[in-house]
Amino acid sequence: EKLLAIHGLHAAVEGKEILKGLNIEINKGEVHVIMGPNGSGKSTLVNLIMGHPKYEITAGSIAFEGEDITALKTFERARKGIFLSFQNPEEIPGITVENLLRTAKNAITGETIKIMAFKKELKQAMETLKIDNTYAARHVNVGFSGGEKKRNEILQMMMLNPQLAMLDETDSGLDIDAVRIVSSGVKHFKNEQNAILIITHNTKILEQLDVDYVHILMNGKILQTGDASLISQINENGFLHLGGDALDSG
Ligand code: ADP
Ligand code: MG
Ligand code: MG
């Protein structure tokens, strides 16, 4: 059984068709990368998987562990083990990092995690991400630098331990050391029971990971799927040489 299976997905944002018959299948244990020009629909795709209400499915299906999830709300999908890290994380004044994580973890697992066990797990994850332990008591993202916000996203991923983690340009705007730290957090998280879908333009984040599949998203469809060698081809030649109707802006 596929962890995620998307078939014939058509979707629109504010009446404009963005995805035009997209197929993708992800198994447990796999790392998938999606690359594609700006505006090709990468963020649209992961937001649709997460159930963002702004995006409308006009045809096709999204199944998670064999169950069609298209009617489920975002929090219900999160409870099933789907996680999306945002390109631009929001500030949440009044709520500390630790509180948010504990509340989210309790909500997602449906259990009340023991405080000491939680604190220990949090401390370990923060060490992996080289986040100073004083950040546990700070308000979420308030006054955080860009790099700190992104690391906090990865901290959430590690603590919530989803089955499918989707990272939407989590590495964009990070300096080389921050990318390496984020990358090691992702590597730490990855195991044979979960899967990762990474959207990135920056292949540094992939260096510590075994990438199984690279998909090129153009004009609302997966134009090509290959192994990790596709990444260096794209880096050298860009997207346009792949053909497709690259100039069709829809
Ligand atoms: P990518 O992540 O690949 O850069 P997006 O999924 O963000 O692309 O956007 C795909 C297309 O959808 C773009 O043409 C973009 O302008 C359009 N789009 C995204 N969000 C909205 C919105 N809220 N309203 C109108 N158009 C949108
Ligand atoms: Mg973009
Ligand atoms: Mg995007």
Structural domain contains residue 179? yes
**pLDDT-based confidence at residue 93 (cuts at 50, 70, 90):** very high
Ligand 1 atom closest to residue 168's alpha carbon, by position in its atom list: 2
Of the candidates 75, 19, 32, the one whose C-alpha atom is nearest the C-alpha of residue 50 is: 75
pLDDT in tens, 212-231: 999 999 989 999 999 999 99
Looking at residue 27, which CATH number applies to its domain? Answer: 3.40.50.300
pLDDT at residue 250 above 50?
A: no
What pLDDT sits at residue 245? 52
Structural domain contains residue 35? yes
- Ligand 1 environment, Cβ below 6 A: 13-14, 16, 18, 36, 38-44, 54
User: How confident is the model over 147-164, as a mean pLDDT?
Assistant: 94
ipTM for this model? 0.92
Share of the chain above pLDDT 70, in %: 97
Query: Best of 13, 22, 219 to mutate for ligand 1, by most ligand atoms within 8 A of CB?
Result: 13
Q: Which residue lies with its CA nearest to atom 23 of ligand 1?
A: 13
Considering the chain, what is the average pLDDT of its residues?
92
pLDDT in tens, 60-91: 999 999 999 999 999 999 999 999 997 778 89
Structural domain contains residue 58? yes
Domain count across the chain: 1
What pLDDT sits at residue 120? 97
Q: Which residue lies with its CA nearest to atom 20 of ligand 1?
A: 13
Domain extent, residue 30, equals 4-242
**pLDDT-based confidence at residue 244 (cuts at 50, 70, 90):** low
Structural domain contains residue 237? yes
What pLDDT sits at residue 213? 97
pLDDT at residue 248 above 70?
A: no
Share of the chain above pLDDT 90, in %: 77
User: How confident is the model over 133-137, as a mean pLDDT?
Assistant: 95
Q: Which residue has the higher pLDDT, 86 or 183?
A: 183
Structural domain contains residue 247? no
pTM for the predicted model, two decimal places: 0.92
pLDDT at residue 48 above 60?
A: yes
pLDDT at residue 8 above 80?
A: yes
User: How confident is the model over 164-181, as a mean pLDDT?
Assistant: 89
**Which-ligand-closest: CA of 12?**
1
> How many angstroms does the Cα of residue 67 sit away from the middle of ligand 3?
26
